[in-house]
Amino acid sequence: MHDSPVPADHSAGGDTLAGAEIVFLSWRDTRNPEGGGAERYLEQMAAGLVARGAKVTVFCAAHAAAPTEEVVDGIHFVRRGGKLSVYLQALRALRRGDLGRPDLVVDVQNGLPFFSRLATRAPVVVLVHHVHREQWPVVYPGVTGRIGWWVERRLAPWLYRREQYVAVSRATRGELRDLGVTGDRVAVVHNGTDPALPTAQRRSATPLLTTVGRLVPHKQVEHAIDAAVALRATHPGLQLRVVGSGWWEQELRAHAAAADPAGEVVVFEGQVDEQRKHDVYAEAWLQLLPSLKEGWGLVVGEAGMHGTPTVAYADAGGTRESIEHDVSGLLVDSEPAFRAAVAALLDDDERRAKLADGAVRVSHTFTWAHAQESFAVVLREVLAGRRVAAQDPVEDPEA
């Protein structure tokens, strides 16, 4: 089936979203210590809707880093419940009218949907970053994981069988179709990339690798640690800086201590501010992204803005779109190939410089402004009673 173009008569914006009440149901927000790229995407889309005159509420889990209710940049945040109870709290709030009378609900399916179709008569748009087939047995071994995968694989596609979907990559759209989400109702709206923060840091004189993201099992940071430790013998002074935090951090520290007893190779930076993150990108020779699954990989573009190429797994999904193989980074098929690719780039200054130039170029092809308009187009169509299978162009014409 061919991708349908974005309807031309909506490309200039229009006012069909002005005054519309839109509610996002999300597991987390960016202020949550476990928040990441998915939450960044959500809040960028919400900001784009506010700029178009919509009234936007984000309902998400409560946490100690933010109040239970606040308005930030025109977005109304309501935080209730915890990691799992947020789902029940959201359903209750939606059904009781605590979130007003939304004209449209965006159900962010992060493995599990919010079952919002059961609690509202408003149109529902299901936002999916990636399918969690591989993650369920890793994060929730046993019965819990099997139930979760059954919900994602069987129950959710049936419950939302008439609803519009938004996927952040063509890879995710393909995975959804494998689950039975068929027809012209899966729109692809890519991520954007934040402008690089200015930094006084320059490329490290000695080999420096980095991996940036949440420290959770499916990110497979162990692969980056093992690669760095193995390559230290042939690349004097090599270091790996691990930027981020998460509930798997102690296991990773134990893994690093076992692989690198002297503690000379692996440096855990922890959760850092944006400036420090961009400083690390600017210093690093390569970014390593050994994730089992990525809906897109926001860190690819962030590093690319600083001319830092990324090595990742091709079967992670979205990496096949955020990385142009052998242009802005390398995509590999196995852990041995991952290590070999890193070694080859460390030894080849000319090829690494070529990839650095490509990383800068590719990072500028996806902007948040374009993503926001693409997302708004989908919501306008849904509010008009239509479904859309819009496909973002590879090149953003406004980039």
d(CA 82, CA 373): 32
Give me the pLDDT at residue 16, please: 81
State whether the Cα torsion 71-76-81-82 is positive or negative: negative
What proportions of the chain, in percent to the nearest 5, are helix, strand and coil? Answer: 40, 20, 40
211-265 tens-digit pLDDT: 999 999 999 999 999 999 999 999 999 999 999 999 999 999 999 999 999 999 9
| The token pair that represents 246 in the structure block | 């998460």
Q: What is the CA radius of gyration of the chain?
A: 21
Give me the pLDDT at residue 134, please: 87
Looking at the fold, whether 39 and 92 belong to one and the same domain comes out as: yes
Residue 264 belongs to some domain of the structure: yes
d(CA 127, CA 104): 13
Looking at the fold, whether 273 and 262 belong to one and the same domain comes out as: yes
Beta bridge partners, 391, equal 188
Percent of the chain with pLDDT over 70: 94
d(CA 308, CA 287): 7
| Closest to 59 measured CA to CA, from 91, 36, 35 | 91
Residue with tokens 């990773």: 252
Looking at the fold, whether 18 and 164 belong to one and the same domain comes out as: yes
Residue 200 belongs to some domain of the structure: no
42-61 tens-digit pLDDT: 999 999 999 999 999 999 99
Residue 227 belongs to some domain of the structure: yes
Q: β-strand 164-167 against 124-128: which pairing, if any? A: parallel
Mean pLDDT for 157-186 is 94
| The token pair that represents 367 in the structure block | 């902007």
State whether the Cα torsion 304-204-269-219 is positive or negative: positive
Mean pLDDT, all residues of the chain: 92
d(CA 258, CA 54): 53
Looking at the fold, whether 213 and 326 belong to one and the same domain comes out as: yes
Looking at the fold, whether 152 and 126 belong to one and the same domain comes out as: yes
Name the packing angle between helices 249-259 and 221-232 (round to 10°): 20
263-322 tens-digit pLDDT: 999 999 999 999 999 999 999 999 999 999 998 999 999 999 999 999 999 999 999 999
Domain count, the chain: 2
Task: Judge whether residue 369 has pLDDT over 90.
Answer: yes
Q: Are 362 and 324 in contact (CB under 8 A)?
A: yes
Residue 393 belongs to some domain of the structure: no
Looking at the fold, whether 48 and 187 belong to one and the same domain comes out as: yes
Q: β-strand 55-60 against 310-313: which pairing, if any? A: unpaired
| The token pair that represents 350 in the structure block | 């000319």
Other CB atoms closer than 10 Å to residue 212's CB: what's the count?
24
Whole-angstrom CA distances from 209 to 273, 354, 360 are: 19, 17, 18
Looking at the fold, whether 257 and 147 belong to one and the same domain comes out as: no
| The token pair that represents 25 in the structure block | 């149901």
Domain extent for 308: 208-363
DSSP characters for 188-243? Answer: E-----PPPPP------SS-EEEEES---GGG-HHHHHHHHHHHHTTSTT-EEEEE
Looking at the fold, whether 35 and 142 belong to one and the same domain comes out as: yes
Residue 175 belongs to some domain of the structure: yes
What value, to the nearest 5°, has the Cα angle with vertex 228 and ends 224 and 232? 175
What pLDDT band is residue 390 in, cutting at 50, 70 and 90?
A: low
82-108 tens-digit pLDDT: 988 999 999 999 999 999 999 999 999
Give me the pLDDT at residue 11, please: 38
Q: β-strand 104-109 against 266-270: which pairing, if any? A: unpaired
User: Which residues have a Cβ under 8 Å from the Cβ of 280 and sit 6 or more positions away?
Assistant: 201, 210, 212, 241, 243, 269, 272
Looking at the fold, whether 339 and 371 belong to one and the same domain comes out as: no
Mean pLDDT for 195-204 is 94
Beta strands in the chain (DSSP E): 21-25, 55-60, 69-72, 75-79, 104-109, 124-128, 164-167, 186-188, 208-212, 239-243, 266-270, 286-289, 310-313, 329-332
Percent of the chain with pLDDT over 90: 88
Give me the pLDDT at residue 90, please: 97
Q: Are 191 and 371 in contact (CB under 8 A)?
A: yes
Lowest mean pLDDT among 1-5, 11-15, 73-77, 241-245: 1-5
Looking at the fold, whether 39 and 130 belong to one and the same domain comes out as: yes
DSSP characters for 269-294? Answer: EES--HHHHHHHHHH-SEEEE--S-B
Looking at the fold, whether 96 and 233 belong to one and the same domain comes out as: no
Residue 149 belongs to some domain of the structure: yes
Mean pLDDT for 368-391 is 92
Give me the pLDDT at residue 183, please: 85
d(CA 302, CA 193): 6
Task: Judge whether residue 6 has pLDDT over 90.
Answer: no
State whether the Cα torsion 291-296-302-306 is positive or negative: positive
Residue 314 belongs to some domain of the structure: yes
Helix (H) and strand (E) counts in the chain: 14, 14
Looking at the fold, whether 326 and 183 belong to one and the same domain comes out as: no
Residue 203 belongs to some domain of the structure: no
Identify residue 294 by its one-letter amino acid code.
E
184: CATH: 3.40.50.2000
